[in-house]
Chain A
Amino acid sequence: MMVALIVDVGLAILILFVAGWIVAVRSTFAAVIGFVVYGLLLSLVWVRLWAIDIALTEAAIGSGVTGALLLRTLSRLPVEHSERSANGSFRFIAGLFCAFISLAIAMVIVALPEPAPTLAPEASAGLPAVGVGNPVTAVLLSYRAFDTFLEKVVLVLALVGCWSLAADRDWGGTPVLWRYSDPDGVLKFLAQTLPPIGVLVAIYMLWTGADHPGGAFQASAMLAAMWMLTIVAGLMRMPRTNDDLLRLTLVSGASAFLLLGFAGFGIVGSFLAYPPDYAKALIVAVEIPMTIAVAATLVMLVAGPPQRRDMS
Chain B
Amino acid sequence: MPVSFVRRQGRCETMDNFLFAVAAFVLGLLILGLVCVLKGATLADRMMSAQLLGTSGIAALLLMATAVSEPAIIDVALALALLAAFASIAFATSSGDRQDRE
Chains A and B directly touch (beta carbon < 8 Å): yes
| A interface residue numbers (CB < 8 A to B) | 1-4, 6-7, 10-11, 13-14, 17-18, 21, 25, 27, 29-30, 33-34, 36-37, 40-41, 43-44, 47-48, 52, 55-56, 59-60, 63-64, 67-68, 71-72, 74-79, 82, 178-182, 187, 190, 194, 197-198, 201, 204-205, 208, 211-214, 218, 222, 225-226, 228-229, 232
A46 to B71, CA, bound (A): 15
Give the number of chain B interface residues (Cβ < 8 Å).
52
User: Is B24 a contact partner of A7 (Cβ separation < 8 A)?
Assistant: yes
B74 CB to closest chain A CB, in angstroms? 10
A208 CB to closest chain B CB (Å) equals 8
A126 to B100, CA, bound (A): 59
A202 to chain B, nearest CB (A): 9
Instruction: For B86, list chain A residues within 8 Å (CB).
Output: 63-64, 194, 198, 225-226, 228-229
Please tell me if the beta carbons of A40 and B84 are within 8 angstroms of each other in the complex.
Answer: yes
Q: Are A41 and B53 in contact (CB under 8 A)?
A: yes
| Contacts A/B (CB < 8 Å), 26 sampled | A6-B24, A14-B27, A14-B34, A25-B38, A30-B38, A33-B38, A33-B46, A33-B50, A37-B50, A40-B57, A44-B60, A47-B73, A52-B73, A52-B75, A52-B76, A59-B79, A60-B83, A67-B87, A71-B91, A77-B99, A181-B96, A204-B75, A205-B75, A225-B86, A228-B86, A232-B94
Q: Using a CB–CB distance below 8 Å, which chain B residues touch chain A?
A: 1, 16-17, 20-21, 23-24, 27-28, 30-31, 34-35, 38, 43, 46-47, 49-50, 53, 57, 60-61, 64, 70-73, 75-76, 78-80, 82-87, 89-91, 93-102
Once the chains bind, are B76 and A59 in contact (CB under 8 Å)? yes
Indicate if the CB atoms of B20 and A1 lie closer than 8 Å. yes
* Alpha-carbon distance between A10 and B25 when the two chains are bound, in angstroms: 10
Chain B interface mostly helix, strand, loop or mixed?
A: helix
Complex partner residue of B20 from A4, A47, A182, A198, CB under 8 angstroms: A4
Is the CB–CB distance between A17 and B49 below 8 Å? no
Residues of A contacting B75 in the complex (Cβ-Cβ under 8 angstroms): 52, 56, 204-205, 208, 212-214
